[in-house]
Structure 1
């Protein structure tokens, strides 16, 4: 599209994806092309690092989506801000601004009023994939007093290798990578700040991520000793609290309690969807429960969440 003036009234919104060639950017572009609700304007490949060319793309857009490394995302925000009154709204898919002042966290189902906050925000930070699953489990329990803010929380998770970036994808697809591995064992994974902030935790959780030899799909699990929680709630109590929180949510659902009887769950069931499902497994005899969030790390964990936020921000 060569015309780079802002659209007139009634025209479809224009969106510029800065970093369109990456995994998340490609996923967003595919979804937007399929929906046909906006016009995606693209920069010539040889000008992707040309600041002046990118600024003109930003000037032409109603909204820009940043699919960049953190430092590059910060630079892009400054570049957009230099346009003053012509600056577009910004949706950042990097880690750079997820807990930054002035940014709205892009998890619409997280809390009452969050979708409305996203719709009215000029700067929205798209959540991390692991963080989406963890916060989906934690926040409703903390808000209802079932989980103390200072409770010693441990979170385990497994993702498909597509969440690890280009080099990991290449290693797995060339059969150079192990079938399964834990990582982030320095206990300072980049998603921890947003998990703590939006999970409403006063204490740093232990988070142990892992990657398996499958392209996409994710399980995030939260094990709990129920007798150590206030009032010693049952697994059914936790299920009821989660179900109440997500009642009527478009993309998040709590599985019926009877589904937990199978005692197993696989990671790939929601692939190529933008959904997140929550499952509650419990053992009353031992007073234990395991809560599991299942999602596609490229769907509700990345590109799908970005498109959901874009639709809220642009009202399409």
Structure 2
């Protein structure tokens, strides 16, 4: 028996990437709408209610509207928008942090944001274990491939080929900050500085730590070991055994799709400072790969089926 899947917003960047990961998989049958009916409310409502699983790749308001069109208690939802990430009744779709069983049993799953995946993946295990404080003014510096901005930003980079780096959200209030704070168990919202660079896909997220002034902070080696223990056995998340090779981490302009998450703890020679760094694909574990991982879990399938690892 196959699982019927409807990707609402299938023509967008995230939807296309999800469809590519499901192509050729006999466990799923895709419910599709012709182009002239994709925005027809009646056709969408029918598809939303016919599906066993709906994956929403829509703007926030449209995602909320789509959920409201589901008139049964059978259809399960994976929402790739920001709309439900801290909403009551929704399970955060980060199996390694929230728990695979919790995700597998969920009826409503909110796909994590790309930047928060790196930030939470680094900090949540360490704060939860009491190795880093809950009440601390953490900062997060991050760069992403421009595909994370969807079609509009992809077009802007095509029209402005001389732009190599674009810093944004400089006036604060980025929509990812609430989930970063909630799921990293923080009392203080992090200072978040995102940017996009002239690479199609990829992401590097960094949390700098002045360990010498953090009360009770452990050594970088202890932080690294704690992350390695927390993610031991994960087929998706890996922890580097040492600092970055050659003191560098690279993003490639034409990197292939990748659904993993690689974490680093990079220490100063005297151990007084550390950089927590996450590498991921903003379209992979940061979006479409994460949605497919959750789809696999709620379907009772191996979580890495169809993923590029």
Structure 1 segment 90-239 matched on structure 2, within 5 A: 90-111=77-98, 114-176=99-161, 178-239=163-224
| Partner Cα separation in structure 1 for residue 169 and residue 256 of structure 2 | 24
2:72 to 84, 103, 124: 84
Partner of 2:64: 74
Q: Is residue 270–residue 295 contact of structure 1 (8 Å, CA) maintained in 2?
A: no
Distance 1:274 1:227, change over 3 A: same
Give me the TM-score of the superposition, normalised by structure 2: 0.93
Which segment drifts farther, 21-30 or 232-241?
Answer: 232-241
Distance 1:79 1:249, change over 3 A: same
Distance 1:34 1:129, change over 3 A: farther
Task: Report the CA distance between 1:38 and its aligned residue.
Answer: 0.5
Give me the TM-score of the superposition, normalised by structure 1: 0.91
| Partner Cα separation in structure 1 for residue 143 and residue 49 of structure 2 | 40
Which segment drifts farther, 68-77 or 221-230?
Answer: 221-230
2:274 to 284, 289, 304: 289
The answer as to 2:248 corresponding to 1:264 is: yes
Which segment drifts farther, 57-66 or 211-220?
Answer: 57-66
Which segment drifts farther, 65-74 or 260-269?
Answer: 260-269
| Partner Cα separation in structure 2 for residue 243 and residue 89 of structure 1 | 33
Which segment drifts farther, 268-277 or 14-23?
Answer: 268-277
The answer as to 2:45 corresponding to 1:55 is: yes
| Partner Cα separation in structure 2 for residue 122 and residue 250 of structure 1 | 24
Structure 1: runs of 5+ lacking an equivalent: 1-10
Instruction: Give the superposed CA RMSD.
Output: 1.5
